[in-house]
Structure 1
């Protein structure tokens, strides 16, 4: 069959023309309904609320019992008995250790024998004085003999006093062989065993006895913190200011709050030049003996604000150690604004300058915002934000 070239060209051209026509129609349609460009983003916005807030300053601390007593021997000898075990609670006067007392008992016996000899010598000297006195009075013998007798009596009296002191000293050494608890408290580790040779020159104590009915938490403040501390509370002297400091809390190592509140009692007299800080001490009651010497924690010093602006931390950003938020004006344009932070918790900053109560701030999505940008504010209730993350 013979095909006409004109027919072939026509068959090819018509579909191409249709495709070109459809393409042109699509272009016209797109130009007539262009896609939205640079549409203002919809972002959550909240009016900055005011709320009563308690802010805490935290300071690392170490704990010690009110009395931590090193139990050390005051005489040398072999450890004969250990009456207590490590960790035991003991009361004042309770026996703890016994050092072999044989040597000291013999020294006491010797001192007592010397005392008897001194007493006999004094009695003899007294007899001589009594015998010579009437003879001198009657001019039978020279008064020189009486003077000599009196001198011998005085020497015997001095020897007797010395012998009594030696007996007392020997008795004290014997008493030192039984070591008793000087205070109530808990026994620490006992590095020595029965039969160990112990003495006054030993570097290690026999044990440590801790009175933990009251615990002292030691912490320090830097110089700027101390100046702010002094300016915060009324009073002319530090002692007067400490009376106006509220009770403090103790945050334990597991981040739980110790149930008993404490009171700051002491400020060290001067700054430690090596670390530029001054030391404080807070006292905590320890009725259940939960706390022990050597525990660590954090002192939480509270400050109550009757009304303070509350701003979620996620609504903020930082530039060169300054905290900023984006505020929204009546025309829905945003502008960055620095804020002053007086405190914070896990979720919020507490603002003391830079914002007004009720002023609208962008809650999230601020990463790509710039000053003057237009947004579509989606108003969020401040109550819902505060309920979701309680202060």
Structure 2
């Protein structure tokens, strides 16, 4: 029987022993395996579950390669309204910045001198006609007298010459009347084309001159608008020599649609049509000018505005589009991460040819049906398998990013 110190009672010694036994049991439970969980991960192989990653499935097809080039808008027609007679501007008959119609009166120049000139020309015509009448009567008289041998043949010929001179005077007087009438009509300045007129360059009371051809205003036809685009000559040659474009040109086809991108980055509501490509290269810049026609029914586009123009360059076959975050670009080349049917991830070299709508155009390196990682790179752990799920762009769905699981065996 153990010896008990006098300071301790039997009851205290029993209590201490019980505490020691309980602590030993708890320690043994913590060190042993849990009976409620299997001795391994969820996959039953002793490791963590596969990492969930977002993938896209490769679909090969024809991709339109688009390019954006700087351009400048210009009105399809521009008319400078100029004075065709000399005089004082009496009235301005249009509102600055308004739309005008062809033939609409814009300015009235003092017409009094030209009205007087018309009257003078008409008087000269009447005088010439009277002279012609007298000369014609003399010819008829001398013709009869010559037949009767009362006057010489020369007298008749002289009368005939005077008649022809009088006829010429009448013709000149008639031309003078027409000239005076034209000058009078030019005193009323009209719009040569329909369009939008700018500010008036002269005011009432200003002296305008026919000799200097004083500019009075400018009219721009704003619908449609032209946009002139400068394209590097090397790029233009590449586009023309593209096999796809050569085939389309031989068939008389091709996509000539262009899209205007405004200064704030938004796309203009109306698409345009490419009209032509210049036949010469600017030796100073090495560029070729392209011109497109853009509808402007609402008058939003203004002449002289700088924009960017998106147009189709060529069509590439057996290509695919991948989100930018799926492609790693470096000096050593472009690569993507491909997930196989067993969930294994491998790096793959690809050929990137251009950017299209915020995505890379992949020309080579991938096959149809393969899965390319887009999201979840930070979850990769060594060479462990992953669980691929369908990925969608964040802008296509409120909670896009990781979607439904993808059956790798089916897609491959």
TM-score calculated relative to the size of structure 1: 0.75
Measured after TM superposition, the shift of residue 215 of structure 1 is 1.8
The 5 Å alignment of 1:1-391 reads 46=55, 49-50=58-59, 55-202=65-212, 205-230=215-240, 231=242, 232-233=244-245, 241=252, 243-302=253-312, 308-320=319-331, 324-327=334-337, 335=347, 337-346=349-358, 348-359=359-370, 363=374, 374-376=382-384, 378-381=386-389, 383-384=390-391, 386-389=392-395
- The answer to whether the 8 Å contact 1:48/1:311 transfers is no
SS of the equivalent of 1:189 reads coil
Instruction: Give the 3 Å change call, closer, same or farther, for CA 236–227 of structure 1 in structure 2.
Output: same
Q: 1:387 to 1:45 in 2, by over 3 A?
A: closer
Deviations 1:314-364 (A, max 9, x none): 3334445x8511445879675562523243223x21111233345565647
Partners of 1:204 and 1:134 in 2: CA distance = 60
Change over 3 Å in CA distance of 1:326–1:263 after alignment to 2: closer
After TM superposition, give the deviation of residue 212 of structure 1 in Å: 2.1
| Counterparts of 1:265 and 1:333, CA distance in 2 | 49
- Structure 1 pair 204–280 and aligned structure 2 pair: CA distance change class (3 A): farther
**Partner Cα separation in structure 2 for residue 179 and residue 102 of structure 1:** 15
Q: Structure 2, unaligned stretches of length 5 or more?
A: 1-50, 398-412
Equivalents in 1 of 2:121, 2:84: separation in Å?
Answer: 19
C-alpha contact (below 8 Å) 2:55/2:375 kept by paired residues:
no
Alignment partners' CA distance in 1, 2:134 and 2:152: 20
CA distance in 2, matches of 1:280, 1:102: 50
Distance in 2 between the 1:377 and 1:79 partners? 87
Alpha-carbon separation, structure 2, partners of 1:389 and 1:304 = 26
Is the Cα–Cα contact under 8 Å of residues 71 and 205 in structure 1 kept in the other structure?
Answer: yes
- CA distance in 2 between partners of 1:271 and 1:253 (Å): 27
- Find the residue that maps to 2:202 and give its secondary structure: coil
Q: Which runs of 5+ in 1 are unaligned?
A: 1-41
1:229 Cα offset (Å): 3.1
For the residues of structure 1 that align with 2:169 and 2:371, how far apart are their CA atoms?
97
Question: How big is the shift at 1:235?
Answer: 6.1
Tell me by how many angstroms 1:253 deviates.
Answer: 2.2
The question of whether the paired residues in 2 share the 8 Å contact of 1:262 and 1:284 is answered with yes
* Distance in 2 of aligned mates of 1:203 and 1:167: 23
2:58 and 2:366 in contact (8 A); partners too: no
Cα drift, residue 101 of structure 1: 1.5
- Report if the CA contact (8 A) 1:190-1:206 is conserved: yes
Kindly report the root-mean-square deviation, in angstroms, between the aligned alpha carbons of the 2 structures: 3.3
The count of residues paired between Structure 1 and Structure 2 equals 340
Structure 1 contact 188–208 (Cα < 8 Å) conserved: yes
SS at 2:223 equivalent = strand
Task: Look up the SS of the partner of 1:387 in the other structure.
Answer: coil
Indicate the SS of the match to 1:50. Answer: coil
Q: 1:134 to 1:101 in 2, by over 3 A?
A: same
Q: Quote the Cα distance in structure 1 between the aligned partners of 2:111 and 2:326.
A: 76
Q: 1:247 to 1:84 in 2, by over 3 A?
A: same
Specify whether residues 83 and 227 from structure 1 end up closer, same or farther in structure 2 by C-alpha distance, changes over 3 A only.
Answer: same
SS in structure 2 opposite 1:233?
A: helix
Change (3 A) 1:375 1:215: same
Contact kept, 8 Å, 2:260 with 2:310, in 1: the verdict is yes
Per the TM alignment, residue 64 of structure 1 is displaced from its structure 2 partner at its CA by: 2.3
Query: TM-score when scaled to structure 2?
Result: 0.72
CA distance, structure 2, for counterparts of residue 122 and residue 332 of structure 1: 111
Judging changes above 3 Å, is the alpha-carbon distance between structure 1 residues 339 and 323 closer, same or farther for their aligned structure 2 residues? same
